[in-house]
Amino acid sequence: MRHLSKIATAFTVILIPAAALAHAMLDRASPRVGSTVASAPKELLLWFTEKLEPAFSTAEVHNAQGATVQSGKAHVDGSDRTELRVPLKALPPGIYLVSWRVLSVDTHRTQGSFTFKVGP
Amino acid sequence: MSNRYLYAALCGAAAVLVTQPARSHEIVGNRMFPATLVIDDPGVADELSLPTVAISKTGDVPPVKEIDISGEYSKRITEDFAVSFAPTWTHLYAPGGPNMVGASGFQNIETTFKYRLFKNVEHEFVASVGLNIEWGASGAQDVGAERFNVYTPTFYFGKGFGDLPSSLNWARPFALTGQFGYAIPGSNTTVTVDPDTGDIDTEFNPRVLVWGASLQYSLPYLKSAVADIGLPDFVNHLIPLVEASLQTPVSNTFSSGTVTTGTINPGVIWVGDKFQVGVEAMIPVNRQSGSNVGAIGQIHFFLDDIFPNSIGRPIFGNGIASGQPAFGSKP
């Protein structure tokens, strides 16, 4: 058992420092996931757990009727490649669905969605 | 009962109860199905479970304390097909106290061939089929390793509840996974001769339904897809869950009987970007399944995330780690 324990420890020591890349999962957003904001944001910000490939990472925002409410294309921030920015039109009160699809720099593709609400 | 027969019974119990090494993780849209500790999850991946340590007491009279230390290496051949190898080392403490002799050794090595059959992102559903082979005579008879192969075709599924309506937002982080397998021994009987008395003992090797499930509540899912309620970062990585791992002999049961054995395991998994750590209690479902609450812990590495450009990618397949199962949608 002592030998097995040493082997396990060695694997842990070897593997964890090697960890540098992974699936890009949504870490946080502004407005926050599932939140209600009193004033309409001009931009949606998404932060991921890994750097993104700009050409293959995007997000869309739709209102309750399914119409897009973006004022421009989503783009990866030039100074922080974990951040995806989505410019928005002036949003009236309502619920909005965010759908994102990204490719991390290690070529793992992930996607997801969430909602936020504008209004009282 | 002589010590010889008592020991044989203990070894048999160990063979039945030995912790199944395992478990891959799977990402389906918003949903990440973690590697569960005692049943296999529904996906395929490049990964390493090392170590998995389980401590329990068998259902024998008197009960025997047992420690199992196992590992599993899973390698994708294609995006949707993987092969895994899983050795388990077992130590059986002596029944009745330290003056009697215990036993140690490896269980038979297991190999699992697994194919992801279906994946649907919208409904967070994934299904796979697999064949597990326990290679007879590759382990030590002292700890119950049989001399014959056991073949277990298995169906796996996972379903996240993120497609529930927003009025049930609190329930959307729930997920259910399960497996149903049918273990077919390569030999219907095992005949042993007592060297002292010359008595012949014939044991019938049953065909066994191997089944289980896990109910999970994903706090990472809550934060990233339902509501970021500002929980501490450590808590946002937790997935509380309950697993059930059960075995029911269904035919050739003259020796084994038909009683279902297994454990119900409440626990929690901490999921990071490159590895996860899980711990669970093991509660026997009846007296035949164990005489005490055991425990199991596991460290599990996501090799596809740690080594995305070398051993963490499929041997055959495209350069984008997306996956396109035979049916269903891309992740």
Q: List pLDDT tens digits, range A11-21.
A: 544 554 444 45
Per-residue pLDDT, A17: 42
pLDDT in tens, A73-116: 999 999 999 999 999 999 999 999 999 999 998 888 899 999 99
Partnered with residue B242 across adjacent β-strands are B215, B266
Given a contact cutoff of 8 angstroms between Cβ atoms, the answer to whether A56 and A105 are in contact is no
Give me the residues of B, 196-225, that contact A with CB < 8 A: 220, 223-225
Per the rule left: phi > 0, alpha: psi between -120 and 50, beta: everything else, A50 is beta
B95: three-class secondary structure by DSSP:
coil
Name the nearest CA neighbour of B25 among B306, B236, B310: B306
Which residue in B50, B224, B227 is closest to A112 by CB distance? B224
Per-residue pLDDT, B5: 43
Q: How far apart are CA B26 and CA B24, in angstroms?
A: 7
Closest-CA distance of chain B to residue A104, Å = 10
**Chain center to CA of B122:** 27
Q: How far apart are CA B294 and CA B284, in angstroms?
A: 8
Q: How far apart are CA B115 and CA B129, in angstroms?
A: 5
Which residue in A23, A34, A113 is closest to B305 by CB distance? A23
With 90 as the cut, is the pLDDT of residue A3 above it?
no
With 70 as the cut, is the pLDDT of residue A118 above it?
yes
Which residue in B69, B227, B320 is closest to A1 by CB distance? B69
Per-residue pLDDT, B13: 44
Chain A residues whose CB is inside 8 A of the B220 CB are 25
Walking along chain B (331 residues) 10 residues at a time, the average pLDDT comes out as: 44 43 68 95 92 92 92 95 96 73 92 96 96 96 93 98 94 98 96 88 95 98 96 97 98 93 98 95 95 96 89 77 46 46
Name the nearest CA neighbour of B146 among B91, B205, B89, B104: B205
* Cβ-based neighbours of B198, under 8 Å, separated by 6 or more: none
Partnered with residue B159 across adjacent β-strands are B125, B176
Closest-CA distance of chain A to residue B253, Å = 35
Given a contact cutoff of 8 angstroms between Cβ atoms, the answer to whether B263 and B285 are in contact is yes
B74: three-class secondary structure by DSSP:
strand
Given a contact cutoff of 8 angstroms between Cβ atoms, the answer to whether B193 and B221 are in contact is no
Per-residue pLDDT, A21: 56
Closest-CA distance of chain A to residue B220, Å = 9
Q: Which two tokens stand for residue A30?
A: 């502004």
Which residue in B29, B69, B319 is closest to A107 by CB distance? B319
Q: Which two tokens stand for residue B258?
A: 């038909």
Chain B residues whose CB is inside 8 A of the A30 CB are none
Buried b (16+ CB within 10 A) or exposed e, B270-301: bbebbbbebebebbbbeebbbbeebebebbbb
Given a contact cutoff of 8 angstroms between Cβ atoms, the answer to whether B115 and B139 are in contact is no
Q: How many CB atoms lie within 10 A of CB B262?
A: 25
Per-residue pLDDT, B54: 97
Q: How far apart are CA A44 and CA A31, in angstroms?
A: 7
For A32-40, what is the mean pLDDT? 96
For A56-73, what is the mean pLDDT? 96
**Chain center to CA of B228:** 32
Q: What single string gives the DSSP state of each residue in B101-124?
A: --EEEEPPPEEEEEEEEEEETTTT
Q: Is the ipTM of this complex over 0.85?
A: no
